Structure 1
Amino acid sequence: ALQAVPEAASRIRSLGASYASALDAETRSITEERRRMAVAIPGLSPAAEDALKRLAAQIKNKDGKLDVAAGSLDPHIAREFAKVSRALDERFGRNAILRGETDVINRVSPAQRRAFEAMRDRLQVLQQAVPIQSSEKIVSERRQRAINQSRGIRM
């Protein structure tokens, strides 16, 4: 029995270290989950809400292309969309709503789940429109830079 004491002590220390690391990992996980749950999703202005409804209707009816409609958004509305999209990414993970992840609903409080489910399609449209809008802006800036450079050379 005395010969087994060092082995038993070693195993107990190992078990204690495993328990401590598991507890630490779980604590970090809960802390991260609480941090994400604390992220507030900003509301949209009435004009931005109308624009989002129009974009959603266009996608649903397949009337037009989303890239054309998203590219023609008012800059103020585009900034609102980007702000909401960043908050969604921070709360649920990068493009989790856009990818249609099913566990996203678990990160919404039970009182807000019904409202979230009702808005899910529009939030997906919003997350589709934001990268399109930003890429349109980049292309526009590049075109403007090229025009300005060509004018500078001709002078």
Structure 2
Amino acid sequence: MLSERDHIFCEKVASGLMAYQAYIEAGFCCTSNESAQAAASRKMKEPGIKEEIRKIRERLCDENCLTLKEKRLKLAEIARGKALFSGDEFLFEVPPSHAERMKAIDLDNKMTGDYAPEKQDVSIQGLFFEDLFDYGEGRETVSGGSELLEGKAE
């Protein structure tokens, strides 16, 4: 069972405050910031505290965060030019500009992973830098060069 101070601590941590600051603001006694950091660190390891912070964060996200579907639907509205923008800087509602529509498409592509890089094999086997050039006799090369890569070194 968590105390009232524990609940305050959890609320403050879940809302983004540093644990030691939340510890102090929750009314726990400490002599310095260092002691508050140590005590807050111990408190953060308690199973009941961890669970309460998780629940609060989940509740805050449910109340305030857009779901992935909501985000993608809003981007689709913007990309199609159907979303209207208004506010203090506008006297009336205006459709998104071409640049805003293109940015919405770009963001949707990033969200769905359409820009994920393709994996390509770029390994070089058996060659060392000096092997790429023919220096001829009498030129020095790095000792152990290609022999190291080809397993010929002693």
TM-score range, shorter chain: under 0.3
Q: TM-score, normalised by structure 2?
A: 0.23
Greater helix share, 1 or 2?
1
TM-score (norm 1): 0.23
Larger Rg: 2
